[in-house]
Copies of this chain bind each other. A is one copy, B any other.
Amino acid sequence: MHTGRAYLECLPREKAWELWHGKLEAAAYFADVPVELVPVVQSLGRVTATCIYAGQSVPHYNGAAMDGIAIRAQDTFGASETKPVHLTLLRNHEPFIPGGCYIVDTGDLLPAETNAVIMIEDVHIEDALAEIIAAATPWQHVRIIGEDIVVNEMVLPEHHVIRPPDVAALLAAGLETVEVISRPIVTVIPTGTELVPRAQDLKPGAILDVNSHMLCAAVTEWGGQGERHEIVPDDYEQIKQAVITSLKTSDMVITNAGTSAGTEDYTARILAELGELLVHGVAIKPGKPVVLAICNGKPVIGLPGYPVSAMLTAELFVRDILRERQKLPLPEVPVMQAVLARQLYSYVGVEEYVRVSIGKIQGKTVAAPLSRGAGILSSLIKAQGVLAVGAASPGLQAGAAVEVRLFDPQQPETVLAVGSHDLALDILGVFLKRQAGKLLTAANVGSMGGIMAIKNNEAHLAGVHMLDEKTGEYNIPFVNKYLPKGNWQLVRLAKREQGLMVLPGNPENIKGLADLVRKNITYVNRQRGSGTRMLLDYLLKKQGISAGDMDGYEKEVSTHMAVAATIKAGAADTGMGIRAAAQALGLEFIPISHECYDVILNFPPEDNAAEAIIGILQSAEFRQEVERLGGYDLTEAGTVMAVNTM
């Protein structure tokens, strides 16, 4: 039952960070740092714990810096073209005699009593005599002991990240080991009775533990060593014991899930018992139910269970703590100014983080918001950056200037697709990267949203599949109506199958649309305005079937997968959608019609991207790849259906 336990005061992010960082600093968490001795040859990327001083000089002897002859400089004084000096060639084992010289190669030890080298090019050797025509200065062409590094000199300062040449310098300075800051050990404890460790153990209602692996990987990326604890069920004592045990061997402990004020959320209570609970709840979305505590002088963090929330809060409250503990520089977050592709609503009082795709369109950089669900892992993968809507803001208008924090400072040239999504777009993206080095990023807002994005120059490409009821024509009437201006082309991508989905074995023996008005047949519909709904309505009219005679025509859901799920759950007998949705849930698929899925391309004439895309669509390779998915006909792929040049 819901216990009604409340959050601690929900703090703004900055306040929560200040409290958190300040308390850790006061606990000397960044000052008392464990160190370890590692072999220099394994020290790449490690951070020096102290200043490192040379154990020997580099070079450690006086050596020839050139191929030539080693001589005593004073023997050559007065030599000139008109009055050459002749030196006696000595063998390597012979002792030096005044006026003598030795042949040396670069790097050779300078023979005793010599103090300069004359380059071989400047010497004429004949009959064991070397003739020279210019005086040498002492130590010319000699690498003197310590020329590079003098013994006891500082080779590397403290808190320096060791790079390849540093490895060489440490070794050259006679050091075989180096004291570095230990990698912080971070134990990640997945908690939840519903969690299972492996996909084969999954049953409906069970959740695969993926967060602990994601967080361990993030810890690795931030220089630490992630240790995954086994899954702990929602049991007060077991979670407490896991935290106590982990604290003994770790520099930081993360528990995942169990941090909201729900039925089985023990984290905050346990941490309050084991140490000082600093924060429970931060006014951010997603990620509000974060718990920050210090136990035994070590940070213990409860991260929320949804993966997007877990990742965001780890970035906000784990990353820089780990870096500071290791004396790693805090990287500057690269930011980019952009205009928002569409309106964003937001709650006042909560700072909201929205993942976005980015593209540069007709000279302006556009940020297209991705799905904001805290559970939508794929939004983490597709995003190129994140923008924060301030706590005081009720939202942002389309076209608003926003600052996007980039995940990668290096942004490849992107093609921003906004509109209706199709699996074929992912494949187009792969070909586009392969052939033109461009990244296709997609935000899914439906066909009409795509047309509007093209109209406002907020997308390079829009996937559309809209049927004109009057003409039975796809897409063309809509682009001509809504896009009177602009520099676009409408290009056929594929005809894709639409059909009726039914339970395996087709228990109601549905064969076509005529069956939808049969007694006892219930239907689940798509929402008004969707391409599938348009197609249904068109076909019903064409076949003279009255929607009013259907049971469930008014029952609307908003995705292909929701239709499939409704049928799978037994709440409807059939519904219309694409083959992939039926396949995903193991439903049977009765093909009814083809719809035309086209793309609108919006590039300035000087950009060769449109040409590249059309080339890909026309290629046999691409067609095969898409047709392999099933339910696609690419015969007309790459055909320009309509064009506008203002």
Contacts and interface: CB of A to CB of B under 8 A. Distances in A.
A602 B584 CA distance: 70
A375 B143 contact: yes
A507 interface: no
A144 B561 contact: yes
Interface stretch (A242-250, A291-299, A537-545, A564-572): A564-572
Interface stretch (A217-225, A346-354, A398-406, A612-620): A217-225
A138 B215 CA distance: 35
B381 A155 contact: yes
A433 B194 CA distance: 49
A217 B72 CA distance: 41
A56 B196 CA distance: 15
A609 interface: no
A26 interface: no
Contacts of A108: 194, 205
A217 B562 contact: no
Interface string A356-374: 0000000000000000010
Given A2-B120, A145-B585, A44 B220 contact: yes
B568 A44 contact: no
Interface stretch (A162-170, A268-276, A455-463): A162-170
Interface in A97-118: 103, 105-110, 112-113, 115
A150 interface: yes
A204 interface: yes
Interface in A148-176: 148-159, 163-169, 171-172, 174-176
Interface string A457-480: 000000000000000000000000
Contacts of A373: 147-148
Interface stretch (A10-18, A59-67, A277-285, A385-393): A59-67
A165 B381 contact: yes
A355 to B, nearest CB: 10
A165 B109 contact: no
B169 A378 contact: yes
Interface stretch (A126-134, A206-214, A485-493, A497-505): A206-214
A565 B145 contact: yes
A562 B148 CA distance: 12
B164 A215 contact: yes
A263 to B, nearest CB: 6
A144 B565 contact: yes
A377 interface: yes
Given A61-B204, A164-B218, A213-B168, A105 B568 contact: no
25 contacts: A58-B378, A61-B204, A74-B555, A105-B262, A105-B264, A107-B207, A109-B204, A109-B205, A138-B562, A138-B571, A144-B565, A146-B584, A152-B580, A155-B378, A157-B433, A164-B214, A164-B221, A164-B311, A165-B377, A168-B311, A169-B381, A171-B210, A172-B208, A172-B377, A176-B198
Closest 3 A/B residue pairs (Cβ)? A109-B205, A168-B214, A165-B380
Given A2-B67, A157-B426, 4 more contacts: A113-B571, A138-B556, A169-B380, A176-B199
Interface of A: 1-2, 40-41, 44-45, 51, 55-63, 65, 67, 72, 74, 103, 105-110, 112-113, 115, 120, 137-139, 143-159, 163-169, 171-172, 174-176, 194, 198-199, 202, 204-205, 207-208, 210-211, 213-218, 220-221, 260, 262-264, 305, 307, 311, 329, 331-332, 373, 375-378, 380-381, 407, 409-410, 412, 423, 426-427, 429-430, 433-434, 524, 555-559, 561-562, 564-566, 568-571, 580-581, 583-585, 629
